[in-house]
Chains A and B, each alone.
Chain A
Amino acid sequence: MLEEAIFSGFGGQGVLSMGMILSYAGMIENREVCWMPSYGPEMRGGTANCITIISDGPISSPIISTFDTVVALNQPSVDKFESQVRPGGTIIFDSTNILNPPTRRDITIYSVPGSELATAKLKNIKVLNMLILGAFIAARKTVKEETCISALKKVLPERYHKLVPINKEAFELGMSCIK
């Protein structure tokens, strides 16, 4: 098993955490993992992404230019990374934030109205990343659902553990978006 994914969006949307939770989950399931963030001088705003690789064997390059899966939470991410999905690969995007959706025919495209669902159903836009991660897991089955929730508890500082239930709800809602 080898999953080479990139999570991308605006800074503050939690894209780095998505990759980090997936990496933790991979580690819990005894896989090799590598999480490589883009980083810049700004503390807030701007675009952010992280390459996340989960593998049964040793991981060579942490830097890759084509992906099995692209997760895009804003328009610039779709524009930039759609062409970097490998033929037969997957793109998952937040349809609420995107005017021009992906158009390629040789890849699987999942449109998830993530921001809309997070605001309308869960009244909390901050759980967008867990919702989309739920969709990612449903689509890719890279790790088990329960492992992701355990991983969330690892990534989230103790004082925020009261937020685990709503994140779990978001994750499940995201999973249900993938048919």
Chain B
Amino acid sequence: MNFITMLEQISSGMLHTILIFFLTLVFSLPLGWIIAFGRMSKNKIISSITGFIISILRGTPLMLQLMVVFYGPYFLFKLPITNWRFPAIIVGFSINYAAYFAEIYRSGISAIPVGQYEAAHILGFNKVQTFFKIILPQVVRIILPAVTNEVITLVKDTSLAFTLSYMEMFTITKQIASTQTTLIPFAIAALFYYIFNLLVSFTMRRLEKKLNYY
């Protein structure tokens, strides 16, 4: 197999990798807020259940979680899992990353001085206005570096989809490498992840600068 064919085959996987990356962000970033609110709930039952779920999601390998999400419906409920492979990957990734984002959001929220809430309250803002106008904009700035870290990890973690034999880039790379007995595919893959992450860091730095107006 020549280099060009190799590159073509690997490139076809890149699209899937990028798709996993973006879909995971689209679902996990908002889901993280829901989990964060659950964790911070004044209701002890809700907050401890959420805390337990977070600890499971952060305390077990993502690879294992992907397996459970993919095979679980069949083993537990005898449901057919054809066409479930890709959704399972997105569900597994999204839930796992949401747990990490939730803890980041929580730390951001607890960094906001109580005086901000009191001032908002005295000025008559309701809870929704207080959150969206006063708390959230400040939290976003605080948590951005931590979120960037997670996003960079996610770029690399997409390769875990190979455990479910999904044809994303790393799965293809591995196949070519073993059939052709060469390291070149890995070099290509490494370069791809590296450039992808350069773009991610660049974008996030721009965003950080933009939010550094005060």
Does B bind A? no
Residues of B with Cβ closer than 8 Å to A? none
Contact residues of A with B, CB < 8 Å?
Answer: none
